[in-house]
Amino acid sequence: MECPTCHSRQLQRNGYRNQVQCYKCKCCGRQFLGSYKQARYSEDVKQLCIRMHLQGMSTRALEKLTGIHHTTILSWIRE
């Protein structure tokens, strides 16, 4: 593993964030995660949220119901 900024291999472990190991570069001080996972929602979930919004449900109510942030739902609606 190497630093994404300076490509140094002099790293130290620096705790955890959401059960993922964090690292800190000893050369440049950059902190980064050991692995990244991209959060994606399925097309079915997107369509369900859009349909519920079109039927009169607010984005804040959808956020409480689904656990998906209201700005994410708004961006799906704007698409």
Residues 33 and 48 in one domain: no
Per-residue pLDDT tens digits for 49-72: 999 999 999 999 999 999 999 999
Q: Structural domain of residue 67, as residue ranges? A: 43-78
pLDDT at 40: 87
Residues 50 and 65 in one domain: yes
Do 51 and 67 lie in a common domain?
yes
The number of distinct structural domains making up the chain is 2
Question: What is the dihedral sign for C-alpha 48, 51, 55, 60?
Answer: positive
Residue type, 21: Q
Q: Are residues 32 and 2 in the same domain?
A: yes
Residues 21-49 have pLDDT tens digits of 999 999 999 999 988 777 789 999 999 99
**How many residues in the chain?**
79
Say yes or no: 33 and 1 in one domain: yes
Q: Are residues 29 and 61 in the same domain?
A: no
Distance (Å) of CA 61 to CA 45, 52, 66? 15, 10, 9
In a shared domain, residues 14 and 32: yes
